């Protein structure tokens, strides 16, 4: 039995390893790790960055790469918002803009928006740059069906790439998988 706090991760694990049983868990990393230590679970799926932050990377037995465990759209990205009319602040913030991250998140969030899905939907998206070419890999998971697609475009077309990939996925039945998970006002969005 493996504990995970995300239905999307549980679905991806079921695809990767049909011989395991995933159970939902809640709590901070320490609470979740205690469930393994106490024998309640065989393993838990946690963010590596979170384990690094609390000094427990020694407990990691496997790291899932994005090609096998597609992360949530925008996972790990930081954004800063400011008043558009504040030119001085806008200029200051422009100096820390990382255009590569912005392009990747634009494609990932564009896909999520075009699917009309919120952060609780069983959607994974991962965009990566090679030079100025942006590749977007996406997955929508269901119990009996998986829709997985990828596409590429110039980084300047990141939003279009997300929308076009979503349109292809919707044509393949992704809307049925997103179903009731369309709360776009979710607090985690």
Structural element, H or E, at residue 93: helix 87-94
Q: Taking each helix axis from N to C terminus, what angle separates 158-171 and 99-114, rounded to the nearest 10 degrees?
A: 30
Residue 146 lies in a domain: yes
Structural domain includes residue 83: no
Distance CA 147, CA 138 (A): 8
Q: Which domain holds residue 135?
A: 98-178
Question: How far is residue 75's CA from residue 6's CA, in Å, rounded to a whole number?
Answer: 13
Closest by CA to 43, choosing from 23, 28, 26, is: 23
Per-residue pLDDT of the chain (189 residues; tens, 9 = 90+): 887 777 777 777 777 777 888 888 888 888 999 999 999 999 998 888 888 999 999 999 989 888 888 888 988 888 888 999 999 999 999 999 999 999 999 999 999 999 998 877 889 999 999 999 999 999 998 777 889 999 999 999 999 999 999 999 999 999 888 865 444 444 333
pTM: 0.79
Closest CA to 76 of 95, 44, 58, 52: 52
**Distance of alpha carbon 164 from the chain centroid:** 18
Residue 187 lies in a domain: no
| CATH code for the domain of 156 | 3.30.160.40
Both structure tokens of 86 = 């504040």
């Amino acid at each position: 039995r493996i504990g995970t706090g995300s239905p999307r991760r549980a679905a991806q694990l079921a695809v990767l390893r049909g011989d395991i049983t995933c159970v939902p868990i809640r709590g901070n990393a320490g609470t979740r790790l205690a469930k393994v230590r106490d024998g309640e679970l065989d393993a838990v799926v946690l963010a590596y960055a979170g384990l690094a932050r609390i000094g427990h990377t020694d407990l990691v037995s496997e790291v899932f790469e994005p090609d096998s465990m597609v992360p949530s759209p925008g996972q790990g990205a930081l954004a800063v918002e400011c008043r558009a009319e504040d030119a001085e602040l806008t200029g200051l913030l422009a100096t820390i803009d990382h255009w590569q991250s912005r392009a990747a998140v634009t494609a990932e969030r564009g896909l999520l928006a075009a699917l009309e899905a919120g952060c609780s939907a069983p959607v994974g998206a991962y965009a990566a740059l090679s030079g100025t070419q942006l590749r977007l890999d996406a997955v929508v998971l269901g119990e009996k069906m998986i829709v997985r697609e990828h596409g590429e475009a110039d980084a300047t077309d990141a939003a279009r790439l997300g929308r076009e990939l979503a349109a292809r996925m919707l044509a393949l039945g992704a809307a049925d998988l997103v179903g009731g998970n369309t709360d776009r006002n979710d607090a985690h969005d």
